Chain A
Amino acid sequence: MKLKEAAKKEERLTGGHRLCSGCGAGTVVRLVMRASDNPAVVGCSTGCLEVSTTIYPYTAWEDSFIHNAFENVAATISGVESAYRSLRNQGKMDEDFDFIAIGGDGGSYDIGFQSLSGAMERGHDMVYLCYDNGAYMNTGIQRSSATPKGANTTTSPAGEVIPGKQQYRKELTDIMAAHNIPYVAQASPFKPQDLMKKAKKAFETEGPAFLNVLAPCPRGWRSKAEEGIELTKIAADTCFWPLFEVENGEWKLNYNPKAKKPITDWLEPQGRFKHLFKPENEGLIEEIQEHVDERWETILHRCGEE
């Protein structure tokens, strides 16, 4: 879909929400909701998006919205979908609806993980969207299992002894693909058409679909507000955040950078990695580069690109 054409559709998330200036979650959600052709029932797990878009008595959502706790958005939306299916079978409803549960990385990788896994395994006809900004930004930047290695957060502070988060991030997209659901994709807002195309596939999929989208957070990444989208491009060019989809078990690469950039291009503009550039942490950058290279090789292999 051309952007010009997409712009003709109605806006589903209004302005006047209170996400930070330059927050990537707003961009991601706007683009994903553009791809829906039906009225939707939206749920958000606790996180920046939930609290900022629904500050009482305001809502930025043009669709039905259900407020949730941190751990249960996938359970809530799967329940709504089941109720809808029942009403439809009884002939009490005939309108088409889309069902979407949205969580940040904290609500998807960590706290809401079991309800997400359960909803996908039960096979509900719903979409789960994770906007991954790599930490619990809403409560003031605590590390999550999506936080990249070496990042400085308030619960993985970089100091003289420990240089930021000690573990690599976990690959939730792979874990969801291992659920053998019909559609799983990893996307990024710097390619808005690719993101909308994936969202459209997700909405049209019969059964569960999972989208994992990188969302820049200027506060948590300690980066410039205007550079957020550019950073998501750098993430793809350095192969830190590859774009791919898994459709009925078949892996497909969606973006292969012409020239793979060094991981320092991704680390340097972000203040959360500042300490990595001290002479004593030189080895750590090499380690991170090796890890990214290995991951990229794995993705290429799975996508049959070798």
Chain B
Amino acid sequence: MVKPGDGYKDIPKGGLILEAGNAKNYKTGGWRTKKPILDKETCINCHRCWAFCPDSSVLSEDGDVKAEIDYDHCKGCGICAHECPVNAIEMEKE
């Protein structure tokens, strides 16, 4: 990936970005003022939080949403907590 200080010889022709999905290396978790906390006991694994998250930050593994929340990228919008049908997600002040 191009780094600050790279000269024109280091930059791919046409300014192409050659590594797909490299935005995951950019952390947006610092934008957050409130942090979603998932209560795994209450969760019914309906995946609504997973579907609605604009930042792909509710992680699901093998059909199980109880995996983890990706705090590196979660911006704390609170949609997951607001849409949870069983109130399994609390928004906690950072």
Contact = CB atoms under 8 A, between A and B. Distances in A.
Interface in B48-94: 48, 50-57, 60, 62-63, 65, 70, 72-79, 81-83, 91
B53 A60 contact: no
A228 B15 CA distance: 35
B89 to A, nearest CB: 11
A16 B24 contact: yes
B55 A17 contact: yes
Interface in B18-74: 19-28, 31-32, 45-48, 50-57, 60, 62-63, 65, 70, 72-74
A18 B54 CA distance: 10
Contact of B79 (A13, A17, A18, A22): A22
Given A4-B47, A225-B77, A225-B78, A59 B83 contact: no
A14 B46 contact: no
A56 B15 CA distance: 9
B73 A19 contact: no
Please tell me the size bucket of the interface on A.
35 or more
A25 B53 CA distance: 10
Given A4-B63, A27-B54, A192-B52, A225 B22 contact: no
A61 B2 CA distance: 17
A3 B48 contact: yes
B20 A59 contact: yes
Given A3-B48, A22-B77, A57-B17, A15 B82 contact: no
A16 B26 contact: yes
A265 interface: no
A21 B76 contact: yes
29 contacts: A4-B60, A7-B47, A8-B62, A14-B21, A14-B73, A15-B56, A16-B23, A18-B26, A23-B54, A24-B54, A26-B54, A26-B56, A27-B51, A55-B23, A56-B2, A56-B15, A57-B1, A57-B17, A58-B23, A58-B26, A59-B19, A59-B20, A61-B20, A189-B52, A192-B48, A218-B77, A229-B52, A229-B82, A230-B82
